[in-house]
Structure 1
């Protein structure tokens, strides 16, 4: 059996599935932002009350912790040790006020051009510690080709600076080039690591008290899972975990065989995704969060700050919905009017106290000189209009740039959705109205209020690695896995593909996923009209797949 728990900004949803992916139990609890662990453990306790410890195979968590820390800029101060080498403006990459540009460089083939200065490094670290900056990220421009400098700096820190709490090595986060993205990713990973590690430790302690011994995984931005150890080392990979859960939930509950929009209408936000055929749109170079372009591969989504519990105000005579949220809807005991209250008044939902909803909207209705009924109708119209505008902006942008799905680059494709699939609490009331405005078919599947938790429970492990080989220098390395080995001059592209698959599969230990090659290239090194070797680069990944909820 497997548990899936999605920790949203408003509610935490949980599901228990059996070995055949049938839904046995589900729950929905208010999220306690100041004590996420308590919310998760309460959900676990309710769902597993009749289970023995050995009946549970795994628990998958979708968490907004890292995302919220970054968006709200509440992460820890991060010290950056950057080794960009010559030719780049270091000001472009100094995301942190605590950044130090170090001497030393590695070239594009992984050769050391200039060694690092140990005294300079120690001086920089001592300065960080003096300013109480105890989390440090290290990023060399070509460390994916040769991580020697990053590893040496890490060794210096561990040997001489026990005060440092966490160290991030950029080559462990991504094996691909693009220095600006790698610096940003290293910076954010370093900043959120302390809180992520505390969260994971609290979860492990709480689960032990509940005698739940199943392995725990965190949902990543690409819709796959990672172990708790990987989540400790690379918390940045869990950004956009919530939107990924909604996309995987739609995957698990429907058959998106046509070009379709996915909408997850939550309490605070609405997340919009896009499916082409049976595949979601993908960001292979990396997703952007809070204007930081990262190297974190992820599923494409757009969010707006309007949900079922968003605050409704009147600004300059016009309705304003969101992005603030004061609490639950007034119909459920909350302090302020929300779109959910409008749904209650219009009879579009069977739950909630209509008198409380009416009382919350009355002052706004009087100010706008409207009846309560007409105001409620206008609120829903405005809510749908905000979502529609965001969808139109998204489609315009996507139709003017290269678009990727998980498996391929789409070219010359004009994206024209024919359907909307909606999930989330208000979906049954909102999606039909929105579909009518957009002239699209629609679907609101069963269990849509807990679709994100279902998506988490059904998610598979995903992993990617990049093998870089230089036959003239007799070596290859796989930076994400910390592997560097000698090779002979006979090493070729075919051998590189085989080794990349083998090493990735071995890293996944007891799992037996299908591994595929997504990138392979080789070019000759020529000197004096003679070929002296080859540069080979291969990317291997766990083949993306999906599992469906068994409705029988």
Structure 2
């Protein structure tokens, strides 16, 4: 079976054709991501692959940063959140800390839902119907979350959904359907975010289908989930929140496919950021409480990924003291810009000829990405500036002059942050071209910029390039130590962990010395550093040497993310909570929380046996909805919750979890 894997990242879109039977990459390619129209870059990578192999692909596997970006940028559809059984005053105190909107965008439906099921009272459904026409206008979806939903299996959520769809015809997402954990705020954030992302993922998949139609590829689509497993196209449309951080998850899966070492520290270095993940005994480390993106706290189960600002397109700059540094902001490499606009090289060369010394990096350009000429959201000054860029990129001095400002007062931060314009500057990609470690563009423009900057910093050009390399290796070294310490001591407060940076700095300085210091901190790592991403081979070996560990960079490291999109499987979990009911003079009995149809059991052993079957059925049904084939592998785990009292240990509850794994079913997916 052949799979076509496509990963759309912030800088590049990658594609591979992978033979799952022989476990071989048959072809791969890479192109720049076209953010204004993703169809362009997706079509381009497909056209760059051998067409005979492309049309033999049995399925298309996707990973994307679209949902993550929409979450961070606050984009998506307009969704109303309903809390059932939660007091408005309580909600107003907690909502913001979970990323939830202001209370005027949240509807609280009164209900009494204690942990004692006998005392549950239903909401006033008549009043709820009356409120819909007033408080739910101008929304295109609704997210519903109930307090203590386990107590009645989310019955009030289901009823509210039924009423909303009957009265308003709006699509509804219920929090208990997504996640069964108790925290109502995390479930609320998860449900609301999922509702907002539905139009985002539908638009993306529509663009994918358009691209496939143009290539005459009528194939089933699967999408990587946050934990590296797969889901069907239909399931992704229902639960787009499951795609949060699926790009890094795909990279981890690809790295594990390319490296068989049981313990790995995976470093994925891209154009914009670098991601670090951990694999222990062949299993990737996962987050414990759910993924957090920006201020949004969710119950999405995903892999542990730590992201920091370092990539091939990081901006090389200097501070007010003239010290060279790496900014986390992404810029277009000068060598890349010059390949599109030859005048870029000429302008920087003239700058070197005319300008002896300057405190600003005068070789930086501004490039127009979006047309805002008809948008009412921007000022006349901003529109005038963008109009000046329509004929091509401008040097910073030319750009400032276009709106009659000098380069010291020149500020177009809003246009940059909203992706209307972008800076082109000196980047590690330029330095790699100069040093011959990366080839793809003519390095003349890069060399001219280095010449200008080196002269202003009183460095040789060679010293400047070497210094940039050292900064990158140091950043990798420091972040690996930081993440390993965080993983080893998860209970420590962030404030304490931040104070350890001096220790990492001392370890780094010692690693740079040819002779061992009289005293120095030493860290030991029982794992292999695995590097993926296009530029990683240049920097990781030296960083690994400084850490005293083995480094492995697979042959197909630049496209490991696209490979990871192909090799995943289906997984699903379901948990049954067992509780105890007892009264004086009567024998104890056990029951399943919120599942009265399963009745009562005289012993915990009987209840656990029945819970296994119920959990297996629930997990299997979930896996089949995700697109799994019938053959599923099932494993069980259990955990008892108890408390110590003056009378000894008191039983609280007993959880039985079924985990199922299976392969994707493609025959009925087209």
In 2: Cα distance, 1:471 partner to 1:216 partner: 45
Indicate conservation of the 8 Å contact 1:79/1:99, yes or no.
yes
Q: Which has the larger radius of gyration?
A: 2
1:480-533 per-position Cα deviation (integer Å, ceiling 9, x unaligned): xxxx67224346111211232234224434242312123355899xxxxxx9x9
Pairs within 5 Å for 1:279-290: 279-290=283-294
Partner of 2:598: 487
In 1: Cα distance, 2:479 partner to 2:236 partner: 32
Counterpart secondary structure, 1:187: helix
| CA shift for structure 1 position 325 | 1.6
Q: 1:361 to 1:144 in 2, by over 3 A?
A: farther
Indicate conservation of the 8 Å contact 1:128/1:134, yes or no.
no
| CA shift for structure 1 position 534 | 10
Q: 1:82 to 1:222 in 2, by over 3 A?
A: same
Partner of 1:143: 149
Partner of 1:437: 546
Superposition CA RMSD, Å: 3.1
In 2: Cα distance, 1:110 partner to 1:65 partner: 41
TM-score (normalizing by structure 1): 0.85
Partner of 1:388: 477
| CA shift for structure 1 position 81 | 0.7
Pairs within 5 Å for 1:184-223: 184-223=189-228
Question: For 2:435, which of 346, 350, 356 is the aligned residue?
Answer: 346
In 1: Cα distance, 2:244 partner to 2:455 partner: 42
In 2: Cα distance, 1:201 partner to 1:477 partner: 40
Q: 1:56 to 1:349 in 2, by over 3 A?
A: closer
Q: 1:63 to 1:444 in 2, by over 3 A?
A: same
Indicate conservation of the 8 Å contact 1:189/1:234, yes or no.
yes
| CA shift for structure 1 position 32 | 1.1
2:659 pairs with 1:541: yes
Counterpart secondary structure, 1:222: coil
1:340-365 per-position Cα deviation (integer Å, ceiling 9, x unaligned): 11122223234432212212333322
Indicate conservation of the 8 Å contact 1:79/1:128, yes or no.
no
Q: 1:135 to 1:322 in 2, by over 3 A?
A: farther
In 1: Cα distance, 2:639 partner to 2:82 partner: 31
Indicate conservation of the 8 Å contact 1:150/1:169, yes or no.
yes
| CA shift for structure 1 position 432 | 1.5
2:528 pairs with 1:419: yes
Counterpart secondary structure, 2:329: coil
| CA shift for structure 1 position 540 | 1.6
Partner of 2:8: 7
| CA shift for structure 1 position 141 | 1.9
In 2: Cα distance, 1:101 partner to 1:420 partner: 50
Pairs within 5 Å for 1:221-260: 221-258=226-263, 260=264
TM-score (normalizing by structure 2): 0.71
| CA shift for structure 1 position 172 | 1.6
In 2: Cα distance, 1:470 partner to 1:41 partner: 55
Indicate conservation of the 8 Å contact 2:273/2:311, yes or no.
yes
In 2: Cα distance, 1:375 partner to 1:15 partner: 36
Which structure 2 residue ranges, 5 or more long, are not aligned? 340-423, 493-522, 582-588, 644-649, 664-670
Pairs within 5 Å for 1:66-465: 66-85=67-86, 89-91=90-92, 92-93=94-95, 95-97=100-102, 98-108=105-115, 113-122=120-129, 124-130=131-137, 132-145=138-151, 146-162=153-169, 164=170, 166-258=171-263, 260-316=264-320, 317-328=322-333, 330=335, 333=338, 335-401=424-490, 416-465=525-574
Indicate conservation of the 8 Å contact 1:330/1:338, yes or no.
no
Partner of 1:408: none
Indicate conservation of the 8 Å contact 2:227/2:302, yes or no.
yes
Counterpart secondary structure, 2:231: strand
Partner of 2:635: 516
1:8-38 per-position Cα deviation (integer Å, ceiling 9, x unaligned): 1111111111241221111111111122234
| CA shift for structure 1 position 295 | 0.6
1:94-125 per-position Cα deviation (integer Å, ceiling 9, x unaligned): 51121122201333365662211235434554
In 1: Cα distance, 2:129 partner to 2:474 partner: 56
More helix by share: 2
Tell me the number of residue pairs that the alignment of Structure 1 and Structure 2 aligns: 518
Which segment drifts farther, 132-141 or 118-127?
118-127
